[in-house]
Amino acid sequence: MAKGYWIARVDVRDPEGYKGYVETAAPAFREYGAKFLARGGEFEALEGTARGRNVVIEFDSVETAKACYHSDQYQKAKEIRQRYADADMIIVGGYEG
């Protein structure tokens, strides 16, 4: 089964308020076995419009990635994130080759 990945590009408008998102999302990430592959860090924008923060999170499957996003716990965190940041987020399946 292919892994599932969240890919998020985020501009944080209020770093202090955003801390509440991180704290609230953490239990959902633990519950669904999230593994952070990239979380912030240096980046080089090659094409298109970049955002200030880039995150890649690995899950055991696309289904698990979706379940985490739609979980009650993550939805609480999402409400907080949307108050303090702008984001583009997708879920993508890993390559099975």
pLDDT digits (tens, 9 = 90+) for 10-66: 999 999 999 999 999 999 999 999 999 999 899 999 999 999 999 999 999 999 999
72/4 Cα distance (integer angstroms): 19
Tens of pLDDT, residue by residue over 78-90, are: 999 999 999 999 9
pLDDT value of position 43: 95
At residue 94, does pLDDT exceed 90?
yes
pLDDT value of position 18: 97
pLDDT value of position 95: 86
At residue 97, does pLDDT exceed 80?
no
pLDDT value of position 1: 80
What pTM was computed for the model?
Answer: 0.94
pLDDT value of position 96: 80
- 39 to each of 22, 33, 72, how far by Cα in Å? 12, 16, 23
Neighbour-count burial of 66, counting CB atoms closer than 10 A to its CB (0-12 exposed, 13-18 middle, 19+ buried): middle
